[in-house]
Structure 1
């Protein structure tokens, strides 16, 4: 059996250089905003284990290192496997699959779960139920915490808690822009918090991240000087720094680990 590795997307010594990488996943920004706005509701969400790892990363002072991410993107191998991508470091192949993604995030990564069971909702008379009845898809997180900030404080407690879940899901797990319309399917999910805990967030977030990696590798081939990375890219950074301790030590000032 040949011990030759698959080809690299970018040959050694020909890795593209960029001036800027924008990260859509903003953990610190979202948590600080709700600490000031809806602190009691945030405390409720923090006790839920479904996204507990996100809050741990924030408490541990997670810093984002675009250099680590870009370094690994330039070391990707050409492979065609479902739910896994491979990189190479010092001639050693490194796999970043759903299994590694789950180990870092704790998100549900069961690919056998059908999302169809999450599409039904029950009208409870609250704000989000009314949004679903309207189905016009014009609600954004940005407008809620700018134009309607004081109105939100008068909502029912259940609706305010759902807002925080939505913000974590959209702006951190899926790394969507706060000015983008909130997809109705995610409002449907948060109408029942048991469904939030069962939803395969890991699969959704991992696939989004992998698609973004593939898209940006294509852009790098075209000599782009900057790009935007979607998805929960912190997971890729943490995995890379743990898979190659040398990188972790070099970037300890950017990525402090306190627990």
Structure 2
């Protein structure tokens, strides 16, 4: 009898492991199935700034230039796909633990989907080609007078300018030259939406320097730049002896906090999730005919319908 009870116990444990951990042959997850923390992501990226750019350039030739550039696709994103902020956190907690540094694999309904540079480019429309040889997203341009020359031209010599300051500058001066107005709006898009890494975002010197040649700026692989920033905080960090010896534990603890910081453009993960999970998108109000260009308001409402 004791042997039979022992066998029954083993079968029960085995069944539990099969359902919760083996997961049809998938790699292990960060959290056990149906044991995910349910908090929110503090995104430094502010999509409302795209609506501000739209209104700042509305009816001007500069808007035609913007819509014909690599950034034009951002304004075609349906607004309802940008409203449910909890989706990003949910997909972060549901990801598989893999060795892929630049890929993320959330699981929903037992089925994994990939979030990589390929999917990022597809949902944003941003160019994701190779960088020039030797370029790194961590590279910081030396703070020399020569490198600050164009900065001073755009921001009136204010070297502590923030994105908020740029918005105020454009709104307060109707006589800003057209080329300068366009460049200021491009800075807002890049540092306020795509590469946001601070709670109070500021222009990045190397991006402002690149604006000296508008064609070069518009030809830059902004999709790759934004993706690499984005993926850096959506996945567990790398193991570093003496500094971060338990990256999975550190990351899971962060996901259990009330908020977790995400840089870059994390809403791209949400866009991919909605594309991969049509049933989830059906729960979001509205339809895809309303995008950032024809949306009537100046800011997106909070959406609490998806939990």
Distance 1:148 1:169, change over 3 A: closer
Q: Does 1:107 align with 2:129?
A: no
- Matched residues in 2 for 1:148 and 1:66: separation? 29
Residue segments in structure 1 that go unaligned for 5+ positions in a row? none
- Matched residues in 1 for 2:287 and 2:258: separation? 28
- Matched residues in 2 for 1:257 and 1:148: separation? 31
TM-score of the superposed pair, with normalisation by structure 2: 0.68
Q: Does 1:77 align with 2:96?
A: yes
Q: Does 1:47 align with 2:67?
A: yes
- Matched residues in 1 for 2:41 and 2:186: separation? 27
Q: CA deviation at 1:77?
A: 0.7
Alpha-carbon RMSD: 3.4
Instruction: Give the match for residue 212 of structure 1.
Output: 233
- Matched residues in 1 for 2:219 and 2:131: separation? 12
Residue segments in structure 2 that go unaligned for 5+ positions in a row? 1-21, 238-247, 291-307
Q: Secondary structure at 2:83's aligned position in 1?
A: coil
Instruction: Give the match for residue 165 of structure 1.
Output: 186
Q: In the TM superposition, what are the counterparts of 1:240-251 in structure 2 within 5 Å?
A: 240-250=273-283
Q: CA deviation at 1:228?
A: 3.0
- Matched residues in 1 for 2:123 and 2:115: separation? 11
Q: Does 1:4 align with 2:4?
A: no
Q: Deviations over 1:111-153 (max 9, x none)?
A: 3544759x8xxx9xx8646469x7x8422222233367535x3
- Matched residues in 2 for 1:189 and 1:115: separation? 16
Pair member with larger Rg: 2
- Matched residues in 1 for 2:163 and 2:190: separation? 12
Q: Secondary structure at 1:86's aligned position in 2?
A: coil
**Contact 1:140 / 1:180 at 8 angstroms: preserved in 2?**
yes
Following superposition, which runs of at least 4 residues in structure 1 exceed 6 angstroms of deviation? none
- Matched residues in 1 for 2:115 and 2:42: separation? 21
